[in-house]
Structure 1
Amino acid sequence: MMRIDDEGGVEYALQRVSDDAYLCDPTGDGDSSSWEDDAENATWVSTSEQAESLRDRNLLDESAVRVVSRKWVNEEDIQPDETDRLLDETSPYPPAGSPLAE
């Protein structure tokens, strides 16, 4: 997925024009693809060019699908969880921003 800043980025998928279903191609080779209603089941790639290449490998007509994008966010950076806190406490390295880190 393409990072656009420290908080996240953009990723791309193919959506069928006729019913807004998303292409799911887990192997990326066009041999085992399916159409899914849920965007979470789509095959998301890093660039629109990779999505177009996926379209070509699946032998899809350019007018039948569109490349769609969505933003993604580093969820682990939004709210630290117990694992983050534990790792911070047990890490042999000083936390970032600490005078000891320099």
Structure 2
Amino acid sequence: MVSRDDARRRSLRATGQCCASTTLTSPRVRRSATDTPVDRLTRLRIVDDEPLALETAHLPGEFDDFAHDVAPNSSLCATLRTRRNVICDR
């Protein structure tokens, strides 16, 4: 996959848009230690106006309504870091 930094080095325009944000409440998908619901965020990644990938992230329930925080030209990890003070482990 082309990362935002790769796209910038190649003079490509990378963006994304949120397709869906769902809270999963089934006992099978809850975080077992805290019984917290899990939020699923699905984003369409676009490079030079062409769809490139469909990304799905699963986040702990304390990030509910997080889809509104992610800007189209920002990465999910960058948004977590700047808005929620969370460091992603890649």
The structure with the largest alpha-carbon Rg is 1
- The question of a shared fold, defined as TM-score above 0.5 by the shorter chain, is answered with no
Question: 1 or 2 for the larger relative contact order (CA 8 Å, sep ≥6)?
Answer: 1
- TM-score, with normalisation over the residues of structure 2? 0.25
